[in-house]
Amino acid sequence: MRARRAGFVAALLLSACTEGTHPPKGSDDPGVVAPVAPTDVLGEGTEVARPPSAEDEVEVEIPRPMGHAEVVGLASRGLSDVSQVDVDLTVSGVSGKRTVEVEFVSPEGHPYQRRSSVVVAKPDATRTLRFSMPVAGTTVATSIMSGTWNVRFFLDGAPLTTASFTLEP
């Protein structure tokens, strides 16, 4: 019985509500609602709020990933004297977690070795990764794979930069 009485009281109160039934100032029709002009409720000025125009939009430039590769520590170029070849890759404009791949290409133009590494950076940071290719005791030395080698770098599968070095017999 109490629930029924509470429901009746709620219905009675809602039916007595007059919100939206009074006509706005200057109108005789109770069904017409006059629009309210947008205002700057958070600011201190009396400006009317408006959506941003194309002139107001600021263009944010997203840096394009860049890479620079450099062969380091290759004082001797003779196959019998080189234990490994180190190549430093410096990347910038990399955002988030990305995959860097390196491919060492033999003087004959065939891929010899391919590896990958993950780099995590902010767009404004610069990171340097070192990749090494063993020479001493490998097929490079025993098969006398002398000549100019190319090193290709990829960022998430897209070409990034290259470097080269020469190994003499």
SS (H, E, C) 19-66: CCCCCCCCCCCCCCCCCCCCCCCCCCCCCCCCCCCCCCCCCCCCCCCE
At residue 63, what is the residue type? P
pLDDT at 123: 85
**For the chain, percent of residues with pLDDT exceeding 70:** 63
User: What are the pLDDT digits (tens) for 81-98?
Assistant: 999 999 999 999 998 999
Cβ neighbours for 84, distance < 8 A, ≥ 6 positions apart? 132, 133, 134, 135, 136
pLDDT at 79: 86
pLDDT at 97: 94
CATH architecture of the domain with range 66-167? Sandwich (2.60)
The two tokens of residue 146 are 């002398």
**For the chain, percent of residues with pLDDT exceeding 90:** 53
Measured CA distances, 30 to 13, 16, 18, 84, 150 (Å): 20, 16, 11, 88, 81
Q: Per the confidence metrics, is the pTM higher than 0.85?
A: no
**What dihedral angle (degrees, nearest 10) is formed by the CA atoms of 147, 79, 165, 95?**
130
Cβ neighbours for 120, distance < 8 A, ≥ 6 positions apart? 96, 97, 98
pLDDT at 82: 92
In the chain, what are the domain boundaries? 66-167
User: What are the pLDDT digits (tens) for 103-135?
Assistant: 999 999 999 999 999 999 888 899 999 999 999
